Amino acid sequence: MSVRGGSVLIQKPKGTVDILPGQVDVWQFVEETAKAILDRYRYFEIRTPMFESYDLFARGVGETTDVVSKEMYDFYDKGDRHIALKPEGTAAVVRAFIEHKLYAPEEAKPYKVFYLSPMFRYERPQGGRQRQFNQLGVEVFGNANANTDVEVISLAWDILTSLGIHNKKLVINSLGTPDTRLAYRQALIDYLEPHFDQLSKDSQTRLHKNPLRVLDSKAPQDQELVKGAPSILAYLSEASKARFDMVQAMLDDLGIPYEIDANMVRGLDYYQDTIFEIMPLGDDLNAQATICGGGSYDGLVSQLSDGKQEVPGCGFAIGLERLILTMADQDVQVPEMHPLDIYVVNIGEETDRYAMKVLHQLRQAGYTADRDFLMRKAKRQFKEADKQGADLVITIGGQEIADQVVQIKNMASGKEETVAYADLAADPRPIIEAIKGDNK
Ligand code: HAM
């Protein structure tokens, strides 16, 4: 906090960031690239509110998860409703799916949506971890099958690859059905209980509440113990085993490499059967941090509709901050997002009106165009045009007004032409295109 003249200068809340105009280009590139791929896969955008009732996440994500028990931004509104800023997108989309009867016979099957949205979690901020962060997520409803699991995984893989993230690994696992989890839960407790004293404090509390979470504890003493734990894969039903085998066969067919990690559990309670995570490879700071996590949640629609609708679901979310950090780590070059076609240099007060007219005509014709508004010296204006990377510079001075012409310079070739103002005003396109093309 800094103090100026006795008053406190207000700064952004901890764990949030401002993304400034220059920095936003990479975000726009990511969003545009991802949207084009999502379109190819026939996923359509859904926008749900930024806040929901607290109960949605308590019931949907799970009361004992860190996300709900420690990290939610929740409050009572003026009407005494218990509200939470959404910590994740899946429960919100499932709520909308049920509320709008998107399971109705006339709706698409499976029903495929995506969202780009800020999410809120009260976590300890660090690189790639914020309190307001952004997710690109997808959800698919209506098919509990390996083919949908693999479509979802391949979509995530495709988006990350198209954004230049080549150094990455996909880790998969299966959590089976709730019955599997129940049987496995007991086996895990039986295995861990004799080692209770060696477990970290967090894992000791989790052991009876949510023992599967002990498996992805980051504490070294837990990790050592977990190495010898029974594998959930040994507890899968025939159907779950067949589905997981098919996921692997189809990933092989698509040439998508993967690793199986039987200790991967994910941090949200709604998953069953196939789950997956994608993390960057490399020795930089962010490597190993998960950029994308997801899986199937075949019981969630049923749970949130009080058993009225039994519609399976599957999806993922990519953390965009982590994705963008990884792009920087892997030296991905982002194309110029806002190229400037023309900069209008105007010299002398009397050119102000004329420059305004020319600028307006260029913009009406569809060009990105700007001018000097500050009546700066010619040299300073050319510098500005250069800084903004203008393809062409149009120069207007007293002489040009007298002759009713403008000078148009191709910045790449240095060639300059004099053009009659009447011609430019009639139709700038052929003139501008000819000069733009003349850049040898
Ligand atoms: P999640 O694993 O909780 O899954 O989050 C997905 C991704 O969001 C993470 O892998 C990470 O990249 C990013 N993320 C999470 N928390 C933060 C944070 N505090 N700061 C920055 N990035 C963060 C879900 O949210 C599920 N809803 C995914 C899903 C969709 N599963 C099925 N459908």
Residue ranges in the chain modelled with pLDDT below 50: none
Q: Tell me if 294 CB under 6 Å of ligand 1.
A: yes
pLDDT tens, residue by residue, 368-411 = 999 999 999 999 999 999 999 999 999 999 999 999 999 999 99
Ligand 1 atom having least distance to the Cα of 137: 30
Q: Tell me if 139 CB under 6 Å of ligand 1.
A: yes
Q: Tell me if 130 CB under 6 Å of ligand 1.
A: yes
Query: Which structural domains are found in the chain, ordered by start?
Result: 23-177+237-330 (3.30.930.10), 184-230 (no CATH), 342-437 (3.40.50.800)
CA 408 / ligand 1 centre spacing (Å): 51
Q: Which of 88, 121, 130 to mutate to test the pocket of ligand 1 (most atoms within 8 A of CB)?
A: 88
Residue with tokens 């896969």: 41
Question: What residue owns the CA closest to ligand 1's atom 2?
Answer: 293
What is the C-alpha separation between 282 and 269, in angstroms, rounded? 30
pLDDT tens, residue by residue, 62-96 = 998 899 999 999 999 999 999 999 999 999 999 99
Contact 192, 211 (CB under 8 A): yes
Q: Tell me if 321 CB under 6 Å of ligand 1.
A: yes
Tokens coding 267: 């941090």
User: Degrees (nearest 5) of the Cα angle 281, 67, 279?
Assistant: 10
What is the C-alpha separation between 289 and 323, in angstroms, rounded? 10
**Which ranges of 280-427 does DSSP label H, i.e. alpha helix?**
300-304, 320-329, 352-364, 378-387, 398-403, 421-426
* Partners of residue 45 on adjacent β-strands: 114
- In this predicted structure, what is the pLDDT of residue 217? 87
Whole-structure pTM value: 0.94
Q: Which of 133, 172, 271 to mutate to test the pocket of ligand 1 (most atoms within 8 A of CB)?
A: 133
CA distances from 338 to 24, 70, 161, 342, 428 (A): 11, 41, 23, 12, 21
CA 292 / ligand 1 centre spacing (Å): 7
